[in-house]
Amino acid sequence: MIDYEKAVTRAVREIRPSGIRKFFDIAAEMDDVISLSIGEPDFVTPWHIREAGIASLERGMTHYTSNAGLIELRQAICDYMRRRFKLQYEEDELIVTVGGSEAIDIAIRTLVGPGDEVLIPEPSFVCYDPITRMAGGRATPIVTRAEDDFRLTAQQLKAAITPGTKLLILPYPNNPTGAVMRREDLEAIADVLRDTDIFVLSDEIYAELTYGARHVSIASIEGMRERTIVVNGFSKAFAMTGWRLGFLAGPRPLVKAMLKVHQFAIMSSPSTSQYAAVEAMTNGDEDVRAMRTDYNRRRKYILEGVRRLGMPCFEPFGAFYIFPSIKDFGMTSDEFCTKLLREQRLAVVPGNAFGQSGEGHIRISYAYSKENLTEALRRLGAFTEKYGK
Amino acid sequence: MDKEKLLKLLEKDGDMTLEEIAEQLGADMRDVAAQIDKYKETGVLLGVHAKVDWEKTKREYVTAMIELKVQPTRGHGFDAIAERLVNYPEIKSLYLMSGGYDIWMLIEGRSLREVAMFVAKKIAPMEGVKSTGTHFVLTKYKDEGITFGGRKADTRRLYSYD
Ligand SMILES: Cc1ncc(COP(=O)(O)O)c(C=O)c1O
């Protein structure tokens, strides 16, 4: 008998399975479930972008591209980053990746070795910690607080830094809280980092989805470009999750090193997606703007609705999530979400899925139609009526 | 401010708030409001109406496209007959066309018979009308930029936390 358990490396064995599977299983067995759990746009990729992908197939563009990605795509990305975020990169300081996900993976694997410490503000997206561990690094959470609007503060960062700290993950606009970092917040973070050897992995996958002020990249702050890897992509902004395309940009020597990892893991990102992405980068600004306006309507609607039910909720200015507090219910977020699903057929994500610090909150995605949100608020209302204080 | 874009935005979604329009245009909200007022005064903005998908209601109705060949009148061309036709509330759209016929119009009625009778009794006998051709609409897929048939089913996963 082969012991498959033993065959798996310790690092992989120790990745804790997510407790989330159970919600899927419950939901899958019920009829008429409304799910506000998914972190991807409900929009279909704009037609002209899909058409560009189709056209590339019709022309027979079905080969590998260069490892770093199509040169015309990288040029288009450079223009885009300059235009949208005042970021200056050259084509060879950029890799087109399989989603922001791969960008995060190769950036961490390139920078983090055994014993290196990675600081991860939480609550946040779930991949940074396991990737760090698989690379042999140590993942140290920094718990951000509702009273700080879930921003990372300079004091918290300063207190967390140790001699072994190699990398800071900067996950803003944030999934799951919707928090954003303003220029002054980033200035303060930059002041802490400038005289250290710490690098920054800035996950800006939601950069296009901010409401009110425009997203500011830490790489655009004085002295930070040379120590920052910017991760961005097409999934959220252009409603292109299934195309699996993203990119990273950073200082040339680091990107060169990351290209080695990318080259052996991926060869090159999907060609059809890259051709479609050229169209997104060149002619997609208007689509993004229209989708943002739509998300913003829903954001205001769901935020107001949830607050009207008496649930405290910090106003998020980014991404497409709200992160209300459930502290008045005397339940863990897991209990709350299980009961809500079983009794009201409404599926949302327990805050602790995004780190222990997310306990006491639930994540509601508003990447859903207005009708869905309305019905969800009705069900949530029935639930809070029954269990609220 | 991109004025053409302002009008296009309003044409697409008359429900947008000033704030949303200003955001989309990258313009000041007061400037947008002033421009909209100006367009209303000068008749550039003729009104805001809702797009209804009547197929989803119980209303019985049919739509027909009618082609007309007409005899233009001296001095007035096609305007004289067009000015008479616009008065009929049954006629929803009316265009002067190039090509195989002269006037194209869209008519709504409660039944095929009602529309046919309207054409036979009111339009065909009208002075200057040489011939009519009636085409009934079977399905409306898209109208004035809006796609009908409702939202596509949500094909995303049922539950996830990414
Ligand atoms: C914060 C964050 N970063 C990165 C990703 C990865 O997105 P993708 O690989 O589709 O670009 C996600 C997806 O949910 C995310 O929420």
Q: Do both A53 and A40 map to the same domain?
A: no
A10 Cα distance to chain centroid: 27
Residue A250 forms contact with B (CB below 8 Å):
no
Give the pLDDT confidence score for residue B49 in this predicted structure: 87
Mean per-residue pLDDT, B5-22: 91
pLDDT score of A42: 96
3-state secondary structure of A20: coil
Give A310-342 as a DSSP string. Answer: T-------BTTEE--B-GGGTS-HHHHHHHHHH
pTM of the entire structure? 0.93
DSSP 8-state symbol, B57: S
Q: Which of A248, A238, A250 is CA-nearest to residue A269?
A: A248
Q: Are residues A358 and A369 in the same domain?
A: yes
Q: Measured from the CB, is residue A282 less than 6 Å from ligand 1?
A: no
Of A33, A354, A369, the CB nearest to B151: A369
Structural domain span for residue A192: 47-284
A323 in contact with B at a CB cutoff of 8 Å?
no
Q: Each residue of B40-66: pLDDT tens digit?
A: 999 999 988 888 888 889 999 999 999
Cβ(A240)–Cβ(A215) under 8 Å? no
Only one residue has tokens 């950036």, namely A107
DSSP 8-state secondary structure symbol assigned to residue B151: P
Domain shared by A291 and A213, yes or no: no
**Is the pLDDT assigned to residue B115 strictly greater than 90?**
yes
pLDDT along chain A (389 residues), means of 10: 93 85 92 95 97 98 98 98 97 98 98 97 96 97 95 98 98 98 98 96 98 96 97 98 98 98 98 98 96 96 97 96 96 96 97 94 97 97 92
> Both A124 and A267 in a single domain?
yes
B161 pLDDT more than 90: no
Cβ burial of A309 (10 Å; 0-12, 13-18, 19+) is middle
A18 and B161 within 8 Å at the Cβ level: the answer is yes
Q: Which of A267, A284, A301 is the last residue of a domain?
A: A284
Q: How many domains are there within chain A?
A: 2
**Long-range contacts, A329-333 (Cβ 8 Å, 24+):** A329/A384, A329/A387, A329/A388, A329/A389, A330/A389, A331/A387, A332/A359, A333/A358, A333/A359, A333/A360, A333/A361, A333/A362
Question: Which of these three, A284, A318, A341, is where a domain ends?
Answer: A284
Q: What is the pLDDT of residues A304-361, one digit of tens each?
A: 999 999 999 999 999 999 999 999 999 999 999 999 999 999 999 999 999 999 999 9
Clarify whether residues A110 and A182 are in a common domain: yes
The whole-number pLDDT of residue A305 equals 97
Q: What is the DSSP letter of B122?
A: I
At residue B148, the pLDDT reads 86
The confidence score (pLDDT) of residue A174 equals: 98
Q: How many C-alpha atoms does B51 have within 13 Å on its Cβ side?
A: 15
Q: A61 near A271, Cβ under 8 Å? A: yes
Q: Say whether B139 sits in a helix, a strand or coil.
A: coil
A265 shares its domain with A308: no
Residue A332's CATH number: 3.90.1150.10
Among the residues of chain A, which ranges form H helices?
4-7, 10-13, 21-28, 47-58, 71-85, 99-111, 128-134, 154-160, 183-193, 252-266, 271-283, 285-308, 333-344, 370-387
| β-pair partners for A122 | A143
Indicate the helix (H) or strand (E) that contains A245: none
| A 61-90 → B contacts, CB under 8 A | none
Query: Do A272 and A262 have their domain in common?
Result: yes
How far apart (Å, rounded) are the C-alpha atoms in residues A173 and A203?
8
